[in-house]
Amino acid sequence: MDPLLREDFESLLADHGSPCVSLFLPTYRAGVETRQGPVRLRSLLREAQERLLGHGLLPAEAGSLLAPAKNLLEDKEFWRHNAEGVAIFCSADLFHAYHLPIRVKERAVVGRRFAIKPLLPLTSGDATFYILALSRNQVRLLEARERSVREVELKGVPHSLAEALGDQKETESLHDEKTELLRFCRRVDTSLRPYLRGRTAPLVIAGAAPLPGIYREASAYPYLADEEIAGNPEHLTLGELHDLAWHIVGPHFNQEKKSAEERFRELIGTGKASGNLAEVVPAARGGRVDVLFVAGDETDAPNGPNATDEELLEAAACFTLRNGGTTYEVNPSEMPGGGPVAAVFRY
């Protein structure tokens, strides 16, 4: 199945009617554990079946709802493409199964909405950035976050210098070469505008000199990162490009998070911030939460959320994201205020 994309995440936040089943399990790339995926999923499906019956569904109804997930047990192709984890979502009107670039704990959740808290590391702070891997022979646009990266399928974008310039031949003149590269970069930049229109995410250029400098001259995108990834990106994997780009843009996003933490500490006690779950959930539902911190599942930490808090944390995160707020999942020991939740209100 596909990696989890932005538009897929938004669909999970919609109302799908109770009950919604969310299944999470870790997967492995090597060793005997690679064969444990179907075994773990079978166990989770039994647990989900029992919980669905506890919600009042008949056995046939529960079986029908879980049927698409059960089909994955024999899907060898699905298990052949293991990432770090798998997330599966089932309801009466939706079924999705995703390979995840992050580790998740094995769990089955049945509730009024899908469990999205394990996915928050993929959305935290909306730390989205782009990487343009540019060479004479290849053009790739990558969309990334702190812990994930995917290649954007490009249509109408030239994939090489030869494709951009047609049958015109490159000359040996340095002046003419610069002109050709400038035309190439302008063509790429113009073709990428539909993909970047309305975006404010930083774009990191990866390329061997002189292409990055020429692309800066040609580009109309106002959010180009100041630094670039030097060298021919054809020789780098998606993971390598991601890590090099995060080294460039990471400090920017980390500063935003620190600023949000400082806002919480400044506003707590003024009515414009709260660490009280009972207050935060209705505020999130009403669109008042601008920034939300939730404690991650660090079970050894004394301040971690208990089972009762978990559903409320899920609700707070879901409502915050639905209403355009920013979410951060952090270790319980690093939570602003020391509790399971911290919110900064818009008003």
* pLDDT per residue as tens digits for the range 215-263: 999 999 999 999 999 999 999 998 899 999 999 999 988 888 899 999 9
In angstroms, the Cα distances linking 117 to 73, 92, 98, 114 are: 25, 21, 15, 9
Per CATH, domain 125-251 is 3.40.47.10: no
pLDDT band at 331 (very low <50, low <70, confident <90, very high): confident
Q: Is the pLDDT of residue 16 over 90?
A: no
Residue 32 is predicted with a pLDDT of 56
- Among residues 152, 144, 143, which one has the least CA distance to residue 191? 152
Q: pLDDT for 98-148, tens place per residue?
A: 888 778 899 999 988 899 888 887 776 667 899 999 999 999 999 888 877
> What's the whole-number mean pLDDT along residues 34-44?
88
Q: Return mean pLDDT, the chain.
A: 87
Quote the CA–CA distance of 273 and 178 in Å, as a whole number: 54
Fold of the domain spanning 268-345: 60s Ribosomal Protein L30; Chain: A; (3.30.1330)
Q: What are the residue boundaries of the structural domains of the chain, listed by start?
A: 6-115, 125-251, 268-345
pLDDT band at 33 (very low <50, low <70, confident <90, very high): low
pLDDT band at 78 (very low <50, low <70, confident <90, very high): confident
Q: Is the pLDDT of residue 300 over 50?
A: no
Quote the CA–CA distance of 111 and 238 in Å, as a whole number: 36
Dihedral angle, C-alpha 297, 92, 87, 82, nearest 10 °: 170
Quote the CA–CA distance of 139 and 156 in Å, as a whole number: 12
Q: Which residue has the higher pLDDT, 171 or 25?
A: 25
pLDDT band at 303 (very low <50, low <70, confident <90, very high): very low
Q: Which residue has the higher pLDDT, 172 or 80?
A: 80
Q: Which residue has the higher pLDDT, 65 or 100?
A: 65
Residue with tokens 């994309």: 5
Residue 189 is predicted with a pLDDT of 95
In angstroms, the Cα distances linking 167 to 137, 162, 163, 246 are: 15, 7, 8, 37
Cβ atoms of 45 and 66 closer than 8 Å:
yes
Fold of the domain spanning 6-115: 3.30.960
> What's the whole-number mean pLDDT along residues 308-321?
86
Quote the CA–CA distance of 42 and 47 in Å, as a whole number: 9
- Give the list of residues 6+ apart from residue 148 with CB closer than 8 angstroms, or none: 3, 4, 101, 102, 122
Lookup: tokens for 190:
């113009």
Task: Return the percentage of the chain with pLDDT > 90, whole number.
Answer: 57
Lowest mean pLDDT among 6-10, 25-29, 55-59, 179-183: 6-10
Instruction: Tell me if residue 151 falls in helix, strand or coil.
Output: strand
Q: Is the pLDDT of residue 24 over 60?
A: yes
Q: Is the pLDDT of residue 346 over 90?
A: yes
Residue 226 is predicted with a pLDDT of 95
Quote the CA–CA distance of 264 and 47 in Å, as a whole number: 39
> What's the whole-number mean pLDDT along residues 25-40?
76
Residue 301 is predicted with a pLDDT of 38
